Every structure is written in structure tokens, then in C-alpha cells.
Amino acid sequence: MEDPKQRLIFALDVSSRKEAERYVDELDGVVDFFKVGIILHTVTGGGFVEQLIKQGKRVFLDLKFYDIPETVRDAVRQTALLGADFITVHAQRQVMEAAVDGKKDSPLKVFAVTLLTSMDASDTSAGKSSEEIVLERAKLALECGCDGVVASGREAGIIKEATKGNLLVICPGIRPAGTSPERHKRTVTPSDAIKAGADYLVVGRPIKEAVSPRLTAQKIIEEIYTAINPL
């Protein structure tokens, strides 16, 4: 996957369909991959996902499922039928196994959330470091048959190493140099995340709140290109 454009996912964290459509239009031809999360999905339901797919866009449905196995299995099955590309679930054995079962042989990829980038080890009661928690969950995700994990760019390298490159890694908490980390505790630049082994970058506010979202997305794609093709 050497096309840098395919590695950028824009988080459509907006609360109306109109606003989402405005960003999709503004980024047309630059960003092809969109993350629909719990805010937008609550407002628009699957209809907006279908619309994006009809427009030829790729969709990462980030609903972070966590429920009894039967419910997760059916929800993932419906996501596959909708035609979304990626779905997220919590990194808990029963949940991940049910999700993998639900996607069957569809092209939908199941990603497990390791540790939110707004959290670090002090936010968990396990008495383990963030790295230990993330690695433990990544290994379990692989064992359960997940396609990948969502993790901070700081952990992408150790995940790739520990799972021998058998898990895809999506990294949120990306901040181009000079931008505010907001509430994330573990941010990295686009370039550092790619060099560490990230397959996909999820970027929300740095693009959304930029004077020119289109230009900012283009710059991030250039940065990804340079990280993949060092001089």
C-alpha cells in the first residue's frame, strides 16, 4: 500500500450530516477515507455511510463495540452488509471473537482498540505500563483473528515487532509539528507514526480546525509520502 493518500483517514467528528458533507466535498480528490464515529453515526445512522460508499469513499466505522457476543456478531454482520471497510471493537476476547465471526468472509476489517490515546497507564488500574497493556491487547487481538489494532504511534513499532507484522496498525492522536495535543496524552507527528510502522493515520481536529482543511490534508499526505520514501 504505497499510495500515501490511502493511509490518511479523516475523522468526521461533526454533529450534523450537512457539516460532514461540507468536509467530504472540501476534501474531494485529496482524502478518500473517512472515519464515522459515535457522534455522526448517532445523528445520521447507516444512511450516511451508504452515501459515502456510493460516492466511492472508504469508510471506517469507529463505534468501538462492546456488548454480549450475539449482539456484537450481528452488529458487525450489519456493518459488513453496509459495505464499510473498517470497524472497531474493544480488545476483549469474547467481543473480538464475536466480531471476527460476524464479519465472516466479507472484506470488512476488524480493529481492536488497545488503549485510548487520551489515557496512559495512570488511567488504568492494572498497575502495568501503557506499553505492557497495549502489547497484551495486541497479541490477544491477533489470537482472536482481528485484522489490526488502533494504537498510539508511540506503540506502533513494538506492536509490529511483537506480532511479526501480522496486525495492521491505525494510529490516532496524530499532531503535525506545532499543533496542540488537545486532550491526547500520547501524540506523534504523521512522519514519526509512519516511520514507527503505522499503516493508517486517523486525523481529526488538525484538519477540521485548520484555516484550509484541504491544504492541511495535502501537507499530511506529503509528509506520509516522504516518510515512506526517504531520500
State the residues that interact with ligand C5P by CB under 6 A: 11, 13, 37, 62, 113, 116-117, 150, 172-173, 182, 184, 202-206
Burial code (b: 16+ CB inside 10 Å, e: under 16) for 68-87 equals ebeebbebbbebbebbbbbb
Of 62 and 97, nearer to ligand C5P (C-beta) is 62
Length of the chain: 231
Radius of gyration of the chain (CA): 17
Strand (E) positions, 141-207?
Answer: 148-150, 168-171, 200-203
DSSP letter at 174 equals B
Of 128 and 183, nearer to ligand C5P (C-beta) is 183
108 Rama sector, left if φ>0, alpha if ψ -120 to 50, beta otherwise: beta
Of 13 and 97, nearer to ligand C5P (C-beta) is 13
| Max CA separation in the chain (angstroms) | 50
Smallest separation (angstroms) from ligand C5P to the CB of 105: 26
Contact between 187 and 175 under an 8 Å Cβ cutoff? The reply is yes
**Is 185 known to be catalytic?**
no
Q: Can you tell me the distance from the alpha carbon of 67 to that of 89, in angstroms, rounded to the nearest whole number?
A: 9
Of 204 and 213, nearer to ligand C5P (C-beta) is 204
Which one of the listed residues 35, 54, 64, 103 is annotated catalytic?
A: 64
Q: Can you tell me the distance from the alpha carbon of 188 to that of 174, in angstroms, rounded to the nearest whole number?
A: 5
Positions marked active-site: 64
